[in-house]
Amino acid sequence: MDKEVAIKIGGEAGFGIKVSGLILGKTLFNAGFKVFGYSEYPSLIRGGHNTYQLNTAKNDVFSVTKKIDILVALNQESLELHGQELNNGGVVIHDGLDIKDIKDIKDIKDININLMDLAEKAGGALTRNIVALGAVMNILGMDLQLFNQELEREFGDKGVKVVAMDKKAARLGYDYLKKFKIGAYLKKEAGSKAGDYIMTANEATAQGMIQAGCKLYAAYPMTPATSIMHVLSAKQCDHHLVVHQTEDEISAIGTAIGAAAVGVRAATGTSGGGFALMVETLGLAAITETPLVIIESQRTAPATGLPTWTEQGDLQFMIRASPGEFPRFVIAPGDALEAFYMIQEAFNLAEKFQLPVIFLLDKLLSESDFVLENIEQHKVKIKREGFINDNELERMRDYKRYELTKNGISKRALPGQLAGVHVINSDEHDEYGYSTEASDMRTKMMDKRFKKLEQMMAEAPEPQLYGPRNADLTVVAWGSVKGAVIDALREIGDKYSVNFLHLTYIWPFPAKRVKKVLESAKNVLLVENNKTGQLADLIRQETGFELKNRFLKYDGRPFFREEVIKEIKKYI
């Protein structure tokens, strides 16, 4: 890999830690560097310790590292919590803090700047972070003009005076570092942007929903899914989209089902606790065969758990949720670009098969900043299908909404079509939608819904195998673990023979493909962000293959790249 630099900004909540980090990230992105941004913050209304970590390089970066090169410590707590994360030769920027706990780090570069004094000279204490970022730009060896351009984009709506004050603050921090004569951490290059956009997976999901033709999003705010609603709300007038904040999650899924029942592409979103409230109504979408997309962004649980931290603890819940049995899709993208494309596919699949599709994110994906490049806006063809038109209804004269068909999919008439009147009923029903308790019709309707499974499995893309076909070790993971594993494999390069099986379309389970890969593997390692190895249990259930080597993490933090590399080396 080309030189990669890890920068962490730490300070008290409410002082613009993430905004500052993202400004720096966008500056580097616009200069041609790839970035990955990761934030940590407590579940507090006000206060607490926040960090934003930015990993940047000329090559792709998809994950966060445990060790860092530059620490901007805006308070003593940041030094105490993160000082030992500095690499040998690392830089710490602070304002008169006690650095005794990190003096043992070899060749540490202590940059003591009177940030508050410089901020006051610039025009106000609120520019303290900008002073520090100006210093970071000097350390990186970057042209300050690039940073100034990003300040204009970020704060231009606040007026000329604010932008001028921020630029002055950045210049003061930048110039102050000249006397330290620290070599540039990045090779200064003039280049175009490193991709098309910087986005979180939540932002990419929202953009994909618009692309898919979603016209109603109903939700109740719940971290880490909330920002999807924020993005869509800001764009609803431009795209004829209704965003409705309901009084609770039960109302949210009910509203979405109601909209979908009349032909609107609709979705709802929440986290695990909110989804638990939706479970009974999820069954309503299933038995009425109503297309519905449910976005569930995982956080730690049970109960409130750690509301602002990440985990992959809901996989089995998504597959089994709701009383009774019915087919569904469970899709778990591994990064923001996959989220953009796969949410579009989710709407297509929901409508084609007339069932719920659960779109599974987590806090790491929802709130981390990814570089998206080579986006194909029309890669996913948006297909509106399954409807019956008025002419067909007139010829039919005996419309059956739940007609028993060979593939289990029956044509949908919508309210307002005169010859398409039918009942949408939460009870078991006959072909017209009328309630029935007849044993033979119950069996036929259950079989009808499950007839869709064969075609569903044929439609779902297979898991992707990264790396050589024949390797000494096969890593298996799903969803957000992708980034850490991909970066780990790139970092170890040709030193070790490792490949990676990544699952995204998890249910219906791609048993044939998974079994083929695992049975031909020399050794297998599961990497999963939960306590019990839920994917491993699912693989055993569906294929009979036992994954004995399991690297599990469940402390609320994602996998750091070094951890994955260390674990891989144990099995080679």
Instruction: Output the DSSP codes for 37-84.
Output: EEEE--S-SS-SEEEEEEEEESS---S--SSEEEEEESSHHHHHHHGG
- In angstroms, the Cα distances linking 22 to 116, 133, 339, 369 are 21, 11, 20, 8
Residue 329 pLDDT grade (very low, low, confident, very high; cuts 50, 70, 90):
very high
Q: What local confidence, expressed as pLDDT, does residue 180 receive?
A: 82
CATH class in words for 5-194: alpha beta
Tokens of 52: 């934003």
Report which of 321, 331, 295, 326 is spatially closest to residue 506, judged by C-alpha positions. Answer: 331
E strand residue ranges, 390-487: 464-466, 473-478
Residue 394 has pLDDT above 80, yes or no: yes
Residue 535 has pLDDT above 60, yes or no: yes
Residue 191 has pLDDT above 70, yes or no: no
Q: Could you say which architecture CATH assigns to the domain 198-372? A: 3-Layer(aba) Sandwich (3.40)
Q: What is the mean pLDDT of residues 44-62?
A: 92
Report which of 521, 463, 515 is spatially closest to residue 497, judged by C-alpha positions. Answer: 521
Q: Do domains 5-194 and 462-570 have the same CATH topology?
A: no
H or E stretch at 353: helix 336-353
Residue 423: count of CB within 10 angstroms of its CB: 14
Minimum mean pLDDT among 174-178, 212-216, 259-263, 338-342: which range? 174-178
Q: What local confidence, expressed as pLDDT, does residue 46 receive?
A: 78
Tokens of 109: 């570069």
Q: What local confidence, expressed as pLDDT, does residue 51 receive?
A: 97
430-481: pLDDT as tens digits = 999 999 999 999 999 999 999 999 999 999 999 999 999 999 999 999 999 9
Residue 50, beta-bridge partner list: 11
- In angstroms, the Cα distances linking 400 to 143, 185, 410, 411, 413 are 68, 68, 8, 8, 9
Q: What local confidence, expressed as pLDDT, does residue 44 receive?
A: 85
214-256: pLDDT as tens digits = 999 999 999 999 999 999 999 999 999 999 999 999 999 999 9
Q: What local confidence, expressed as pLDDT, does residue 189 receive?
A: 60
Q: What local confidence, expressed as pLDDT, does residue 47 receive?
A: 82
Helical H segments across 244-298, by residue range: 249-261, 272-287
Domain range summary for the chain, segments of one domain joined by +? 5-194, 198-372, 390-457, 462-570
Q: Please count the helices (runs of H) and the strands (runs of E) in the chain.
A: 20, 20
Q: What local confidence, expressed as pLDDT, does residue 183 receive?
A: 72
> 458, exposed or middle or buried, with CB in 10 Å at 0-12, 13-18, 19+?
exposed
Question: Are residues 560 and 484 in contact, defined by beta-carbon separation less than 8 angstroms?
Answer: yes
Q: What local confidence, expressed as pLDDT, does residue 328 receive?
A: 98
Measured distance CA(104)–CA(343) in Å, rounded: 49
Q: Could you say which architecture CATH assigns to the domain 462-570? A: 3-Layer(aba) Sandwich (3.40)
Q: What local confidence, expressed as pLDDT, does residue 198 receive?
A: 95
- In angstroms, the Cα distances linking 397 to 149, 314, 416, 429 are 65, 46, 16, 20
Residue 192 has pLDDT above 80, yes or no: no
Residue 2 pLDDT grade (very low, low, confident, very high; cuts 50, 70, 90):
low
Helical H segments across 83-238, by residue range: 115-122, 128-140, 144-155, 160-176, 201-212, 226-235
